[in-house]
Amino acid sequence: MSAKIFDGRAFSEKIYKNLKARVKKLKARGIVPSLAIFSSEGSLAAESFVRSKIKDSEKIGMSCRAVQMSSFSRLKNYARAIENAVKDKKIHALILIKPLPSGLDMEKLENLIAPEKDAEGLSPAHFGRLFGARDFDEIKEKRLIVPATALAIAEILKELSFPFKGKKALVIGRSNIVGNPAAHLLTMMDLTVTLAHSKTRDLRKEVEESDIVVSAVGSPHLVKGSWIKKGAVVIDAGTSAVQGKLTGDIDFDGALKKAAWITPVPGGVGPVTTACLLRNVVFLAERALQK
């Protein structure tokens, strides 16, 4: 058998169609959803990320701008720029892009972002609401701000014609930005979830027994294609640069021969993550209008 390859770019266009209509309604009331991206100069990966977000924001009528900080910026200068953006009513959401200039404390800077402008959903307030939710539909009903990659993983699974309820899912990676929230979202979707990490004793065995494998580590070819269970769904949310090319956590060619569905890197989870991030910005703009 050969797996079906999930087209993340095509799926993201479905999300953008919905967002474009919502942005149009906001604009009719004088609100232009706006995202500010704080990044450092000199990082090609960060610059590429910013350009793509600006391009996709324009696609749905949003505003997105980069705030580049000199590599010589002191913490207090960086902090002041973030604080000013938080106070600016025309900016509805902020994100910080790594790497930061050496000597800057990412946690301290992230804590300056008020929950009402936290596009990544990493503040304790957003985390508390997410982990307090028991049903996936609550995300849309209550306009919860969820870490974008984790949400993208769940949305991809819902899009597939795969009977996932009750099935065994394995999430590899326990970061707060992907692994932990992804595991919770899959549990909300009635999957039986195992969360694997660097201390997991027999990763191969866990993969071999799983109907759904999600990897979000950033370790090239961590998961061998031969480990994949026949007919499984494979979602690769890990990216690394190998010889100038983006590479996933999962041996794509090997997994392709055994899985039912697989997401490629690039072109799989990435485009959907961007769409989910912009959806968070629209949510925040809609909330601001209600106040």
Query: Domain residues of the chain, as ranges?
Result: 30-116, 147-269
Closest CA to 215 of 251, 260, 166, 245: 251
CATH class of 147-269: alpha beta
Phi, psi values for residue 258, rounded to 5°: -120, -30
How many residues are given for the chain?
Answer: 291
Check pLDDT > 70 for residue 71: no
Type of residue at 95:
I
Residue 72 has pLDDT above 60, yes or no: no
47 pLDDT exceeds 80? no
pLDDT digits (tens, 9 = 90+) for 210-247: 999 999 999 999 999 999 999 999 999 998 888 888 89
pTM flag (> 0.85)? yes
- Tell me which range, 24-28, 162-166, 242-246, is most confidently predicted by mean pLDDT: 24-28
Query: Residues of 23-49 as b/e, b for ≥16 C-beta within 10 angstroms?
Result: beebeeeebebbbbbbbbeebeebbeb
CATH topology match: 30-116 vs 147-269: yes
What is the mean pLDDT of the segment spanning 174-180? 95
- For residue 283, what is the DSSP state? H
| Fold for the domain defined by 30-116 | Rossmann fold (3.40.50)
207 falls in which pLDDT band (50, 70, 90)?
very high
Per-residue pLDDT tens over the stretch 245-273: 889 999 999 999 999 999 999 999 999 99
Distance (Å, rounded) from C-alpha 147 to C-alpha 179?
10
Name the E strands within 13-141: 34-40, 63-69, 93-96
